[in-house]
Amino acid sequence: MRDPWAIWASEVILQQTTVAAGAPRWERFLARFPTVDALAAAPEREVLAEWSGLGYYARARNLHRAARIVAASGGAVPASVEGLRALPGVGPYTAAAVASIAFGVPVPLVDGNVARVLARLLAIPGDVRSGAARAAVEDAASGFLDRRFPGEHNQALMELGALVCLPRAPRCTECPIADACRARAAGDPERFPAPRRRKAPVRVRLAAGVAFRSGRLVLVEDEHLVPGHLVVPLAPVEGDAGAAAALAAAWPSLAGRRAARLEPAGRVRHSVLERRYDVEVFRVDEGAAAPGARPRLLGTAELSRAPLGGLTRKVLAVSGATPSEEPPARGRRGSPPPTRIGG
């Protein structure tokens, strides 16, 4: 039996992350949390900090919640598909992957690579992510499964899709099942599977402020991208409103002080699923205290361990401040003129 915890963690990390990017992060994650019990015992903020940069933070929260459930039940990862599916965030694919690879349960798994291989092998029309095409792929996966070695079979089929049966320019001459492939016989394997209909992107404007108090960065709980994450204060910009005015108006409620001066620092773009964020970045000099939230103030050492997402890191970079630097000097050559608030 292979280590079910290591397999489970790898499958969760690779759900929305490429193997090239995910493999070193998986190794680092296991070094930090070598067992289910270790993850369960960690505070959520530490888990999110270790997950920082991988995106889709609901994965980390669900994995953390599931680890606590498993730890409370004795620490053994469930060996059945049903037991795995009962855990937060564990869907059919992850349950099948852990059950078949770690425990040898004869259950097929279907990821994008496997779906593509089977859709081409049998020339299954339509979008394999839903409806009749999805059902046909799942039936094919079940019938095709080697029940003596389900883990090896599932991994081999995934590798075939990842390395040979590519979305574009498939390497059919290297494929061990090319002679049986109906899509290849039809002369156009790239026609299968049918392309997915993509949602139109939702565009969101935000204003971001970078401020320091006694050399410590002002951060707040995220309300726009990843709830519970730490971000620089962000304010939505509606319609034709100015970003500086929107941020200045929101600053007291976000940071508990007034914004005395805003200096434009640049602009960043960020994507999360179908949302496209256009963010104007300002360096903020704070004024008097005002009724509002109490932000988190983090210094250099704390920032290196804080759960900062991709957007915050982009904002800090464009502002001239990074988690390893002191506050940037004002009035640098080439900087836009500052916006003063209240005269």
Catalytic residue numbers read 11
Q: What is the DSSP string of 19-75?
A: HHHHHHHHHHHHHH--SHHHHHHS-HHHHHHHHTTS--THHHHHHHHHHHHHHHTTS
User: Comparing C-alpha atoms, which of 310, 313, 279 is closest to residue 206?
Assistant: 279
Closest among 128, 121, 124, 127 to 170, alpha carbons compared: 121
* H-type alpha helices, the chain: 4-13, 19-32, 36-41, 44-51, 58-72, 81-85, 92-103, 112-121, 131-144, 150-163, 182-185, 243-255, 300-303, 310-319
* Closest by CA position to 98, among listed 82, 116, 121, 118: 82
For residue 91, give the 3-state DSSP assignment: coil
Residues shown for the chain? 343
Q: Which of 142, 119, 143 is nearest to 132 (CA)?
A: 119
CB contact set of 127 (below 8 Å; sequence gap of 6+)? 133, 134, 193, 194, 195, 196, 197
Cis peptide before 193 (omega within 30 of 0): yes
**Cα dist from 138 to 81, 82, 148, 203, whole Å:** 16, 18, 19, 35
